[in-house]
Chains A and B, each alone.
Chain A
Amino acid sequence: MTRVVGLGLRRGLIELRQTLSSGTDLFGYALPAVFLVIALVWMRGSTIPGTEMALGAHSLVGSVAMLIVISGLMTMMQYLAMDREDGTLLRAKATPNGMTGYLFGKIVVVAGVAVISCLFVLVPGLFLVDGLTVGVDGALVLLWLLPLAFLATMPLGAVLGALFDNPRQASLMMLPLLGLTAVSGVFYPVTALAGWLQGVAQVFPVYWLGLGLRSAFLPDALAAAEIGGSWRHPQTAGVLVAWSMAGLVLAPGILRRMARRESGSAVAARRERAMTRMTV
């Protein structure tokens, strides 16, 4: 088993290196950073309502939360849908322990892509925004928050990827996800939204991850601006654990079902479909 995990991790590192040496991929990771920098410049001078803190600090941390969720959910999902279409997954299935190795590899790639996307945003962001600090307390929060964030999103991303047979359909999932970030207080405090929207936001992990990250990066005094006037760490952990459990309960069965259905003719049928789409 350790051998297979090792193979998977190495697989992930190889694919990570491949994506980092691809101009198109890098452009994709850098693009959100460009938009964010524009937004940060535009909101200079605004403050978080009821405080003296720059609104930019809130938004920068919020966008990191968004990127982590998008990576965990969307990137995982698209990789799975794509790898199923082009036969990568069937190869894994034809190899002993190949599926396990494949999944560990994907975890590494997705986590790596998330970290890189965040760096693209954080590095320029830190020059534009004052007041971000990570103390020992903050670092400790990140230590449980980030793994939990990946755990809450990646298995669900894999489940969605297994359900969509077509990478193009899978991309459509981006729309509800962007809608969700809009109500999750990523760019503007959620307290400014209508009460029922606040309720919706608090069901999903984006809001809670944003809250947790703010607790790590922003001064403690700013907790006053949050719902309930507190960072609500226990609730944050609770909601993220609940999503993780849901994903971890669903994923094995659905992934096994997906793997069972893979065969040469299934891949050939998808190829046929993709070819028709290209020529039409």
Chain B
Amino acid sequence: MYYDFDSVLDMTGSVLAAGSVADTPGAEPVIEVRDLRMSYGDKEVLAGVDFTATAGEVLVLLGPNGAGKTTTIEILEGFRRRSGGEVRVLGVDPEQGAELWRARLGVVLQSWRDHSKWKVRELLHHLGGYYAEFSTGDRPRPWPVDELLEVVGLTESAGTRIARLSGGQRRRLDVAIGIVGRPELLFLDEPTVGFDPEARREFHDLVHRLTDVDETTIMLTTHDLDEAEKLADRILILAKGRIVADGSADELSRQVAGETEIRWTRAGQRFVHSAADATGFVRELFRQHGDAIGDLEVRPSSLEETYMKLVREAEGGAR
């Protein structure tokens, strides 16, 4: 869920009323990770990671550089062997994933210059061909190339050689390749690194379209808070090899107590105060000054503040 800042008071209300997000009962999780550990030599990168993802969810793995985001996602993709713990992706251990399992996954890779002599349509058509034998009744595979080009906005470039695509077009092609097999689960690792704001916005629209069109479960990593807040149904914050927070953006904000900021004006002067019990503080404020209070704003801690606090705690605690 995403709130703009005009509805701060509404937000406070919804926060107080909200319960925990209800999972679909009985549905098998798309991703199940228990006590995932990874070490490179002596260096422990993942120190017991736990989380699950349910069908249709957009899960964002957020964390500072070096927190283990890429390692985690590569283990789930079946590209990397873990040191310990249990992992199930679409009900299968990624280390044992066969071609059928592979066909149900999509991986958006960051391309550099591979297939540079291929034409856009030619490559999508070729790669799509590998998925045809895994087509099912409710999920016909592959995605018809023309439709796919339309979805990612590359119709005009269908006949262009890949080497001639702009950076933004190339990344859209990366997404198209990732979804050509109509995946049930799509992984994206730092998909918008190096994007300008416009390209970033287009990319976010594309992700929303994917979840709408195909009920695809999406897991992506980013170190961009704004992106996490815009895209995520649920945010996992990874710091020092552990998940330090797991929930929607506003749930995370609530986890960090004492961060609500209250602003008001009185007698032409602006005031700012942080309070743990915002409601009590505001009640007291009105009792004392009544009608003299103007321009009241109550702003729960932003995701950024929550994030900084959680990451600092995790990093401090590990030292």
A97 touches B130 (CB 8 A): yes
B 73-120 contacts with A by CB, 8 A: 74, 77, 79-81, 99-100, 102-103, 105, 107, 109-118
With contacts A88-B115, A264-B74 taken as known, whether A95 is within 8 angstroms of B130 at the C-beta atoms is yes
Q: Is B181 an interface residue (CB 8 A)?
A: yes
With contacts A96-B181, A264-B189 taken as known, whether A87 is within 8 angstroms of B112 at the C-beta atoms is yes
Nearest A residue to B107 by beta-carbon distance?
Answer: A94
A 54-113 contacts with B by CB, 8 A: 83, 86-88, 90-91, 93-98, 101
B114 touches A98 (CB 8 A): no
Q: Is A48 an interface residue (CB 8 A)?
A: no
A10 touches B109 (CB 8 A): no
Distance in Å: Cβ of A269 to nearest Cβ of chain B: 11
Mark A6-36 against chain B: 1 for CB-CB distance below 8 A, else 0.
0100110011001100100000000000000
With contacts A263-B79, A268-B110 taken as known, whether A10 is within 8 angstroms of B126 at the C-beta atoms is yes
Distance in Å: Cβ of B33 to nearest Cβ of chain A: 18
Chain A at the B interface: SS class: helix
Nearest B residue to A270 by beta-carbon distance?
Answer: B112
B99 touches A264 (CB 8 A): no
Mark B113-155 against chain A: 1 for CB-CB distance below 8 A, else 0.
1111110001000110111111000000000000000000000
B99 touches A97 (CB 8 A): yes
B126 touches A91 (CB 8 A): no
With contacts A90-B109, A91-B115, A263-B80 taken as known, whether A96 is within 8 angstroms of B126 at the C-beta atoms is no
B70's partner among A90, A94, A95, A265 (CB-CB below 8 A) is: A265
Chain A residues with CB under 8 Å of B77's CB are 94, 263
A 246-268 contacts with B by CB, 8 A: 260, 262-265, 267-268
B130's partner among A96, A262, A263, A264 (CB-CB below 8 A) is: A96
Q: Is A163 an interface residue (CB 8 A)?
A: no
A 226-280 contacts with B by CB, 8 A: 260, 262-265, 267-268, 271
Chain A residues with CB under 8 Å of B100's CB are 96
CB pairs A–B below 8 angstroms (8 shown): A18-B118, A19-B117, A91-B177, A95-B181, A96-B103, A96-B134, A263-B77, A264-B79
| Other 16 A-B pairs with CB < 8 A, given A3-B132, A95-B102 | A7-B129, A10-B126, A86-B112, A86-B114, A86-B116, A90-B114, A91-B115, A91-B127, A91-B177, A93-B79, A95-B127, A264-B189, A265-B71, A267-B112, A268-B110, A271-B112
